[in-house]
Amino acid sequence: MTRTLLRAAAWLAAFLALIAALAWGRYLSYDLDSIPKANVHATPADVPYLKQAAGEQRGRILAIVSSAERGGPLNKRAGYELTELSRAYYAFKVNGYDVDIASPLGGKPPARIDTDDMQDIDYAFLNDADAQARVNQSLPLAQVDSGRYDAVYIVGGKGAMYDLPVNRDVPRIVLDIAQRGVVGAVCHGPAALLGVMTADGKPFVAGKQMTGFTNDEELFLDQNAREQFPFMLQDRAIDRGARFVAAPNYLDHTIVDGRLVTGQNSWSTWSTVEAMIKALGHAPVAREPGLDENSVRMLAAYQRGGLAAARTEQARVVQFDKMLVLMHAAVAAMEWRLADAFQLQRLANR
């Protein structure tokens, strides 16, 4: 019996070694080292898009970020998402708008920086003295003169779930700008709109189409989200009478309802901001999509028409973010969508 068990153990070890070798070989086949790395030393002068600024000054936009560094019963890290601010900041600037940054407490708000998501434009923001002065000396919301602004853009990040919906100045600012300008928010940012009531006592979002970070996206990342947050964004929006429109998880999805523009998640930042610029009456300055955007478009094509549609979209791009595609393959596997996981890892291996 002992000899049989040892032989079986040896066969199992050999089998596992073979699986590991095959997996390693598969990993190497993706050639992930060929993906261009972001330049941590990038400045605005290094980003071609920022050299295409509109020739006219069109107005001013207020960007609102959270001051909540931590929140919830477990006191988890919160803050605002840097990429949702940095990309919007420069998109507005390139399209002719000056940008002021405000937060509930003023001063330096807590940023959440995920280096896996960072691109040259995000590092340029960190290395831009003027941009950093504006964010590190953010205006207290109580001191904001909303009459100066053509639009308000509310940045996401978990912190937006804690302090923005209960802030007394957010409704004042949103309602004033909504009368004549554009209101935009992305990811968790739309949570700030759910505490806004109109003069007749109705929720600002009632009857409006909107989106934001969905229940599925939230609960996939944290199964205790219902206990961690004061509310679930999607649930609260529906409760407030909004016509909430959800798209597949972690893909670009922006909803425009008149002069209200909302984006579902971080990957919706560019489309949210550019939709706001269109709502302000201008065609956004053309730009080259980032590697993450190319990947998200491929993934969206896969959702619509399977691998063949995704391959067609893939053929249109020179490069894409393979790790992002593989992340979606891993998500599919964790949700036991094994066929999707297999096809998506094939999509990553061009």
Render pLDDT for 15-31 as a digit per residue (tens, 0 to 9). 444 334 434 344 445 66
Using the CB atoms, write b or e for 200-211: b if 16+ within 10 Å: eeebbbeebebb
Mean pLDDT of 243-260: 97
> Does residue 14 lie in a domain region?
no
Residue 33 has which token pair? 């080292």
Which of these three, 279, 301, 318, is where a domain ends? 279
Task: Note whether 245 and 176 are same-domain residues.
Answer: yes
Q: Do 180 and 261 belong to one domain?
A: yes
Range of the domain at 253: 44-279
In a domain, 13, yes or no: no
- Considering the domain architecture, whether residues 120 and 267 belong to the same structural domain is answered as yes
Q: What is the pLDDT of residue 32?
A: 65
pLDDT tens, position by position, 277-313:
999 999 999 999 999 999 999 999 999 999 999 999 9
Surface-to-core class of residue 250, CB atoms within 10 Å of its CB (0-12 exposed, 13-18 middle, 19+ buried): buried
Question: What CATH number should be reported for the domain holding residue 103?
Answer: 3.40.50.880
C-alpha Rg value of the chain to the nearest Å: 22
For residue range 82-134, list pLDDT tens digits in order.
999 999 999 999 999 999 999 999 999 999 998 888 999 999 999 999 999 99
Same domain, 223 and 130: yes
Q: How confident is the model at residue 316, as a pLDDT?
A: 94
In a domain, 39, yes or no: no
Tell which of 261, 279, 297 closes a domain.
279
pLDDT of residue 30: 63
Q: Among 255, 279, 303, give the residue marking a domain's end.
A: 279
For the chain, how many structural domains are there in total? Answer: 2
